[in-house]
């Protein structure tokens, strides 16, 4: 299993909505609103790197309120 952290910039006032949407998605282990440069951080997992990419493109980036994402793969 491959894991990654996704740093998400949300449109103004949408961070909590983004968190609510992501928490219900398959492959999303955890999602939290945070302070600082990014608005939301999500931990995701998939069987392989291609699966992480698909999850980011199809589920995370399409969530209403998501403006930009940065994906950080976990290194073992």
Domain count, the chain: 1
Domain that holds residue 29: 2-73
Q: pTM of the prediction?
A: 0.95
- Cβ pair 73, 43 in contact under 8 A: no
- Cβ pair 55, 47 in contact under 8 A: no
Find the CATH number of the domain harbouring 15.
Answer: 3.30.70.920
d(CA 75, CA 70): 16
Judge whether residue 76 has pLDDT over 90: no
Q: What is the pLDDT of residue 40?
A: 98
pLDDT in tens, 25-34: 999 999 999 9
pLDDT in tens, 5-57: 999 999 999 999 999 999 989 999 999 999 999 999 999 999 999 999 999 99
Quick one: tokens of 21? 């949407």
């Amino acid at each position: 299993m491959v894991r990654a952290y996704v740093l998400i910039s949300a449109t103004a006032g949408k961070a909590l909505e983004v968190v609510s949407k992501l928490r219900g998605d398959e492959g999303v282990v955890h999602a939290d609103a945070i302070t600082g440069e990014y608005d939301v951080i999500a931990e995701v997992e998939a069987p392989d790197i291609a699966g992480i990419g698909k999850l980011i493109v199809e589920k995370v980036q399409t969530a209403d309120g998501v403006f930009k994402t940065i994906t950080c793969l976990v290194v073992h």
